[in-house]
Structure formats: C-alpha cells, structure tokens
Amino acid sequence: MDGIDSKMGNESWVLASHNEGKIKELREILSRFDVQLMGAADISLAEPEETEKTYAGNALLKARAACETTGRVSLGDDSGLSVDALGGEPGVFSARWAGEPRDFDRAMKRVHEALLESGSEDRTARFVCVLALACPDGRTETYHGEVVGQIVWPPRGEGGFGYDAIFQPDGETRSFAQMSRAEKRALSHRGRALDKLVEAEFSK
C-alpha cells in the first residue's frame, strides 16, 4: 500500500465530525505531520445519515462523503461502546442510544439500568473505533482500534466525553474521564486506530 508522503506538509484534511472531543484528539496528533485538521463545523459540512450496520461501514460512508464534497483527504470516525452482557449494545448506536437530543449523562444511566435489568454480573465492555481514510484519487483505507475494560458505576471523573466516565480500561483503577488527555490517548481505542493510520500513512 502506498502511504501519503509526509514530506508534502501544510495539508488540510477534513474530519467528518462535529464532535469537538474527537477533533481535538486527532488534531493534536496529526499536527506533528504538518496536517491541519478541519472539523465538519469549520467548513459547514453536513454529516450523512449513518445507515450502515458496522463501525467500518459508517466510517467509510462519512469519509467518502466529506472527500467528495471538499476534494480533500478526509477522515471518517465511527466508534462506540459495546457491552458484553447487553449483546454488544449500544454499539454503532452509542451516540443515539438515549434518543435525541444526544445526552450522554442519560445514555450512561441507560447502560447502568440495562445491566441491572439483565441480571448479569459481567461488566466487561470494549470501546471500538474505526478510522476511515478517503483520498481524492479514490483510495480508501480503514484502521481499527479497540480497548477492553469494565463498566463502573457511578460515573467517575470530569474529563473526557461520551461514555468515558463509566469505562475503566483493564489494568487501570481510573476511568477514562479521570485521566489526562495524554494518558487516555495512550490507551484509547481512537489512539490505537490513529497509531495504525500514522504508521501506514506516514512511516515511509
């Protein structure tokens, strides 16, 4: 696979997301490669409806739509929390699991209540992220990252976003929301997917 020439520099990529947490996390890493990352809100980019049933399918859908609209290298991110005792839910519906408007405090409470209703003592869960890359020449790639941990209750910490406050990665005593951005990035599903993208696209 031919990667993107890191010597080009001063590129502007698009992340097809309005999630400021995701944008900030990816922007910090890609800036080391002279890539300026723009979020959907920066260029008034509408996100397509997520109609696919897999993380990879939705990530590719968003990346391709952004690339076709802007003519720039584009990233699509689809990620979510999959809880074993809930049959993998909320999964690809993580952002919308508590209905509209999106409210992760309500969504975290719903996860907790669903686990109680399940009667299971298993609190194993995993955060999954797929980053999809779409280039103007038609090339697409996907990069998968995953981290396994446990659901904790009540929520812990004030940092992070999404379900971070109820997810404690294996080997840790803190939730993602109790970690600094650098600590979370070293362990996170998105960080692992991004590491794979960086290795493939910039390690030439």
> Which domains does the chain possess?
11-202 (3.90.950.10)
pLDDT at 4 over 80: no
Helix, strand, or coil here: 177?
Answer: helix
pLDDT tens digits for range 67-81: 999 999 999 999 999
Per-residue model confidence (pLDDT) at position 9: 43
Contact predicate 79/129, CB 8 Å:
yes
Confidence of residue 3 (pLDDT cuts 50, 70, 90): very low
Mean pLDDT of 163-167: 97
Residue 123 CB contacts under 8 Å (≥ 6 apart), including other chains: 85, 115, 150, 151, 152
Do residues 98 and 107 touch, judged by C-beta distance below 8 A?
yes
Residue 78 among the catalytic residues: yes
| Residue 204 or 18, more confident | 18
List the catalytic residue out of 5, 34, 78, 103: 78
Structure confidence at residue 1 (pLDDT): 40
Task: Give the integer Cα–Cα distance in Å for 109 and 133.
Answer: 33
Mean pLDDT of the chain: 90
Report CA-CA distances (Å) from 50 to 65, 80, 104, 147, 193.
11, 13, 19, 23, 20
Helix axes 189-202, 20-30, angle to 10 degrees: 40
Among the residue ranges 48-52, 110-114, 145-149, the one predicted with the least confidence is 48-52
